[in-house]
Copies of this chain bind each other. A is one copy, B any other.
Amino acid sequence: MKALVTGSAGFIGTHVSRAMLADGFDVTGYDQKDTDEPGVESVIGNFLDLESLTTAVRGHDVIVHIGAIGDVYLAATNPELAAAVNVTGSTNIALAAEAAGARVVYASTWEVYGDPVYEPVDENHPCEPDHPYNITKLAGERMLLAANRLRDVPVIALRLGTAYGLGMRPNSVFEIFIAKALAGEPITIQGDGSQGRQFTHARDIARAFVAAAKSEARGMPLNVVSPEMISIKQLAELVTERFPTEVTYGQPRPGDVTPSYVSASRIEEVLGWKAEVSFEEGMEELLSADRG
């Protein structure tokens, strides 16, 4: 089986490419920069260019579409870019998949739900995104699921919990806290720190992509979240236990999404997936990493 992974040079893309390779897939990495991962064939391209995307996708059985404007703050400052990449780009993926007869697994996000009207939030919960990031991620998901119905392209959308693990962006809350603590500078929590997230380890997320790529299931979104709800305050405490420093509190950031408890029951039924990496274990790995 041949898989093409978009966004393969990024944090989640790297973990997913590795897991696909380990599972026996031939993996093509498709990104704007070189995919520097042993065993992955690197193709430099931009999925906003439908013609070259269609050529690149030819001969693949599955497209794992992770490439996106995934940084909430970049989406806020450049919403027109988020619209183009996340909506038109995902629509191009649908059309290229149709031409190749390929299946699509799409990286969506738990943030599509907006404020919860009931909890735990399952996949039937209404979606009321209110920020350029989650609005465009949901629209991209819906364009792909529409192609599942109208063009017979098999599509699964994975609504990912907040991902963490080695290789995260330097502006993730994890990397910021650890870098500040290591430098002996104070850690600043935005808001009161009580806001929680179901931080989901990148290796768990990667396993979900592999399972979705191999499944016959289609035409549905599936939540991919760890059951543990961790507050930002708890995260800061784990960091300062290891690298003692002061914790201060600042203003909440615009665009931060209200936490809601999200259920991963459906994916366990459909794909037999559940999270395996505990937050304690994942943090231990991050805190012990060589940052020389």
Residues of A within 8 A of B (CB): 50, 76, 79-80, 82-84, 87-88, 91-92, 94-95, 126-132, 135-136, 138-139, 142-143, 145-147, 149-150, 254-255
Q: Are B254 and A150 in contact (CB under 8 A)?
A: yes
For A147, the chain B residues whose CB sits under 8 A away are 79
- Looking at chain A's contact residues, the main secondary structure is helix
Contact of A130 among B92, B126, B130, B142 (CB under 8 A): B142
Known: A83-B83, A132-B146, A150-B254. 7 other contacts (CB 8 A): A83-B139, A87-B139, A127-B128, A130-B142, A135-B142, A135-B143, A135-B146
Query: Which residues of B sit under 8 angstroms from A135, Cβ to Cβ?
Result: 139, 142-143, 146
A136 touches B87 (CB 8 A): yes
Tell me the minimal C-beta distance from A122 to chain B in angstroms: 14
Residue of B nearest to A132 (CB): B146
Q: Which 9 A-B pairs have the closest CB atoms?
A: A126-B126, A139-B139, A83-B88, A135-B142, A83-B91, A83-B87, A80-B91, A87-B87, A79-B91
A140 to chain B, nearest CB (A): 8
Nearest residue (CB) in B for A76 is: B150
B residues in contact with A150, CB < 8 Å = 76, 131-132, 254-255
Q: Complex: how many Å from CA A5 to CA B77? A: 26
Name the residue of chain B whose CB is nearest to the CB of A147. Answer: B79
Contacts A130-B142, A131-B150, A139-B135; A80 near B76 (Cβ below 8 A): no
- A255 cross-chain contacts in B, Cβ below 8 A: 150
A72 and B84 alpha carbons, distance in the complex (Å): 20
- Cα A83 to Cα B127 in complex, Å, equals 19
Shortest CB distance A87–B (Å)? 5
Contact A83 B130 (CB under 8 A): no
Residues of B within 8 A of A145 (CB): 130
Task: Report the minimum CB–CB distance from A65 to chain B (whole Å).
Answer: 14
List 27 interface pairs A-B (beta carbons < 8 Å), by A numbering. A50-B80, A76-B150, A79-B91, A79-B146, A80-B88, A80-B91, A80-B92, A83-B88, A83-B139, A83-B143, A87-B87, A87-B88, A87-B136, A87-B139, A126-B126, A126-B127, A129-B142, A130-B142, A130-B146, A131-B146, A131-B150, A132-B143, A132-B146, A138-B139, A139-B139, A150-B254, A150-B255
